[in-house]
Amino acid sequence: METLRYFLFDICGIAAGWKMEDVMEEEIEVIKGTVGPEDHVICALSGGVDSTVAATLVHKAIGDRLHCVFVDNGLLRYKERERVMETFERDLHLPVTCVDAIEQFLSKLKGVEEPEMKRKIIGKEFICIFDAFAHDLEQKLGRKPAYLVQGTLYPDVIESCPPPGTGRTHSHTIKSHHNVGGLPKDMKLKLIEPLKLLFKDEVRQLGKILNVPEGFLKRHPFPGPGLAVRVLGDVTKNNALDILREVDEIFIQSIKDAGLYDRIWQAFAVFLPVRSVGVQGDQRTHSHVVALRAVTSQDGMTADWYYFEHKFLDDVARKICNSVRGVNRVVQDITSKPPSTIEWE
């Protein structure tokens, strides 16, 4: 870093005048120049930091011509729908419509085990929802929205597509993010992605300037495909989603109670497609295994696993096995990125 600093500032004579406020003003001008004075825009809100900051930025640029939609696809965390909608209404004052699409998503995912296929299906179904939402808006406004705002970040682009400017049409796809490689080619809405050249830490800086509540900005990242990439295999089997929600809630709440939440980049539980023999009470059990993962990172491109005290892990494992029916074993993922990705699928 010091070598790079010396080259840029001392040898090249570049001034360190770049500020996040400049990025905000530039993006607002780009949005205004892209969206016509009478055009309306849909924003896909996930409840995460990225889409929320993107929505707030676009709202600042075009005002009430932005129409936000939050989709409950059945792959959300414990009480996520209620918590997120309350935050949008109470703290962010964004116009948000909630769409219940649980059956639509889970019926399409039934029997699907391959991770890339799950991501592709989810991306396609999201676009179907947004197209239908755009049609409904057209009936009300007399004008069909032409654009879709997404909170795509630079790491999403890197992991899903060839590097920009290379001229290459193929590269090693690490995973197709639902809002990049997972989008269908025939989608009707044109994309606006104001954050696609930023990393997560920069998005949080931008959100702070836009007065997004700090508690919201500090939320751990949550993948666009939701719990579909935290249930290994078919998400509709073995009551996996409900079990995972309970386990994840216990893990995250324990982290918060221990005062560790802000020290960790991302923490979550994973439902594994295996069963193990155990003994609970006086009975033999043959139940599910879950994994706990927590990492530290600066930008999500690399990550190190977080070292918990043994007593913390012991307490969490006991609480999970005693509280969540169908789980009799808890393991911890202690792999960094690379060689692993942060998410399991």
pLDDT in tens, 264-295: 999 999 999 999 999 988 889 999 999 999 99
Residues 154-201 pLDDT 10s: 887 776 655 555 555 544 555 554 444 445 566 778 899 999 999 988
Q: Contact, 330 vs 292, CB < 8 A?
A: yes
pTM: predicted TM-score of the whole model, two decimal places:
0.84
Do 10 and 102 reside in the same domain of the chain? yes
Query: Do 192 and 267 belong together in one domain?
Result: no
The verdict on whether residue 331 carries a ligand-binding annotation is no
Same-domain check for residues 167 and 315: no
- Residue-number span of the structural domain to which 272 is assigned: 240-332
**176 carries a ligand binding annotation:** no
Per-residue model confidence (pLDDT) at position 159: 65
Please tell me whether residues 206 and 115 are part of one structural domain: yes
Instruction: Using the predicted structure, report yes or no on whether residue 124 has a pLDDT greater than 50.
Output: yes
Do 31 and 134 fall into the same domain?
yes
Question: Is 48 annotated to bind ligand?
Answer: yes
Specify the 3-state DSSP secondary structure of 153. coil
SS3 281: coil
Place of tokens 């919201």: 216
- State the pLDDT at residue 324: 97
pLDDT digits (tens, 9 = 90+) for 219-268: 998 988 999 999 999 999 999 999 999 999 999 999 999 999 999 999 99
Per-residue pLDDT tens over the stretch 1-28: 789 888 988 899 898 887 899 999 999 9
Residue type, 116: E
- Identify the CA nearest to 327 among candidates 291, 294, 293, 303: 291
Q: What is the pLDDT of residue 157?
A: 78
- Whole-angstrom CA distances from 198 to 14, 61, 293 are 21, 19, 25
Three-state secondary structure along 160-219?
A: HCCCCCCCCCCCCCCCCCCCCCCCCCCCCCEEECCCCCCCHHHHHHHHHHCCCCHHHHCC
Same-domain pairing of 74 and 150 = yes
- How many structural domains does the chain have? 2
Claim to verify: residue 62 and residue 152 sit in the same structural domain:
yes
Residues 209 and 152 in one domain: yes
Instruction: State which H helix or E strand residue 45 sits in.
Output: strand 41-45
Looking at the fold, whether 189 and 264 belong to one and the same domain comes out as no
Closest CA to 345 of 246, 245, 228: 228
CATH code of the domain containing 33: 3.40.50.620
| Percent of the chain whose pLDDT exceeds 70 | 92
> Considering the domain boundaries, does residue 339 fall inside one?
no
Q: Report the CATH number at residue 291.
A: 3.30.300.10
